[in-house]
Amino acid sequence: MSATPLSSLTRTFDPQSALRRLLVLDAVVTGVNALAYLFLSGPLGRFLGVGSGLLTGLGAFLAAYAVAVGLAASRRRPPTLGVWAVVEVNLAWAAVSCAALVLWLEPSAAGAVWTVLQALVVAGFALLQHMALRSRQLSQD
């Protein structure tokens, strides 16, 4: 692979656009998860081996969070403090998910796999959002 395509990618990388896209993707994934937890809490609870009440509560939280992340993404320049809050909440969610799996949840095998996978996805969002925010800050210096 030549250096030309790679260098063109780095020249066209816009941290602001990347940050907004990551926030939109986070809001959409979180929103879909929220709707599934809210409207399919019974069947999902049985499949994952967790209570439907827990899923409903998590779904309500995730719905509100998805709206907040979507609002941040809708801004032409998402506020730095708001994006840091999204990163921190995502990291906390990933950590609490893993802690819950070890400390108090007793999910099915599918529930255990789901808990780990969603924690990894959310941690990945946090990492990518952090990197895009830092890139945006560095590009303004």
Whether 49 and 108 have beta carbons less than 8 Å apart is answered as yes
Q: What distance in Å separates the CA atoms of residue 92 and residue 97, rounded to the nearest whole number?
A: 8
pLDDT band at 10 (very low <50, low <70, confident <90, very high): very low
Residue from 121, 103, 92, 115 nearest 26 by CA: 121
Q: Residue 58: its pLDDT value, please?
A: 97
Q: Evaluate if residue 110 carries a pLDDT over 60.
A: yes
Q: What distance in Å separates the CA atoms of residue 64 and residue 27, rounded to the nearest whole number?
A: 10
Q: Evaluate if residue 8 carries a pLDDT over 90.
A: no
Q: Residue 6: its pLDDT value, please?
A: 41
Give the up-direction half-sphere exposure of residue 128: CA atoms within 13 A in the CB hemisphere.
16
For residue 77, count CB atoms less than 10 angstroms from its CB and return exposed for 0-12, middle for 13-18, buried for 19 or more: exposed
Q: Evaluate if residue 83 carries a pLDDT over 90.
A: yes
Mean pLDDT of 96-121: 96
Task: Residue 12: count other Cβ atoms within 10 Å of its Cβ.
Answer: 8
For residue 139, count CB atoms less than 10 angstroms from its CB and return exposed for 0-12, middle for 13-18, buried for 19 or more: exposed
Task: Residue 61: count other Cβ atoms within 10 Å of its Cβ.
Answer: 14
Report pTM.
Answer: 0.86
Whether 82 and 92 have beta carbons less than 8 Å apart is answered as no
What pLDDT, in 10s, does the model give residues 21-80? 999 999 999 999 999 999 999 999 999 999 999 999 999 999 999 999 999 999 999 999
Strand boundaries in 15-93, DSSP class E: none
